[in-house]
Chains A and B, each alone.
Chain A
C-alpha cells in the first residue's frame, strides 16, 4: 500500500491549491511576434501569470528552431523557458489564457522542485542592455498546397473513363459471352 500512503491527503491538497508552487514552462512563440518586438512577446507571459496571481521568476529565450511537425501552420518557433510561482488553483485559468492566445503556438507546464542554478545567470544576461534577439529566418509559415496540383484535368477524367470500359475478371467475360451468344 506504499503507493496510496505517499499520496497527499485531501487537506494537504486543498492547502497546496492555495499556496504558491514552482512551475517550469516552455512556451512556443510565433516568430512573427518575436520579429515585431521581443519584449512585447515576453510580456505576454508576465501579464498572463500576473493576472492569475503568480510571478515569473526567470524567463529566457531557450532557442529558435524548426519544428518536427507544423503547429498552427508554422514550421519554426521561438522557445521561451520560464519558471513561475503560481497557486495551483489558478493553473486552469492560466492554461486557458495560453490556449486562447494567438501568439502562443503551444506550451508545456510542469511542476518542479527547484530552479536550475544556471537559469538566473542566463536570465540576467538576457536582460542586459546589449542583448539583442537574432532575427528568426523567414521560412516559418507553411505554404498551402497550390490548387492547380490537386485539380484533375478533363483529359485525366476521360482517360479514367476509358480504363473503366475494359472488361475485368471472369464474370464480366462470361457476361459478355452470354450477350454475344
Chain B
C-alpha cells in the first residue's frame, strides 16, 4: 500500500439523506450527482442510501428521456 494514496472525496449529499428527494425537473440539483460525461456517481460518492440512489437513477433517466440530460455526455 503506497503512502501517498489520495483520501476519498467526501459524499456530495448530506450524511443522513436529508437532501431533497431527486426530481427530474430540478436539473441543477441532479447535475451535482453527475460527472462530466453525465454519468451518475456511485453511492460511495453521492452518499445516498439505496432508496435515494434509486430515486436519483430514476430521475436522471426521466430527464434523459425528455431531452433535458444527454445519454452520453
Binding site for B on A (CB under 8 A): 26, 28, 62, 65, 67-69, 71, 77, 79, 81, 106-108, 110
Contact = CB atoms under 8 A, between A and B. Distances in A.
A106 B66 contact: yes
Contacts of B70: 68-69
A71 B25 contact: no
18 contacts: A26-B24, A26-B25, A26-B66, A62-B25, A67-B68, A68-B68, A68-B69, A68-B70, A69-B67, A69-B70, A79-B66, A81-B25, A106-B67, A108-B24, A108-B62, A108-B65, A108-B66, A110-B62
A114 B70 CA distance: 29
B62 A67 contact: no
A159 B16 CA distance: 65
Interface of B: 24-25, 62, 64-71
A134 B24 CA distance: 24
Nearest to A65: B68
Interface SS of A by simple majority:
strand
B67 A67 contact: yes
A28 B66 CA distance: 7
Contacts of B64: 68
Contacts of B67: 28, 67-69, 71, 77, 106
B19 to A, nearest CB: 19
A79 B25 CA distance: 11
Contacts of B66: 26, 28, 79, 106-108
Would you list the 8 A-B pairs with minimal beta carbon distance, nearest first? A67-B67, A68-B70, A68-B67, A108-B66, A71-B67, A68-B69, A26-B66, A106-B66
Contacts of A62: 25
Contacts of A26: 24-25, 66
Contacts of B62: 108, 110
Contacts of B65: 106, 108
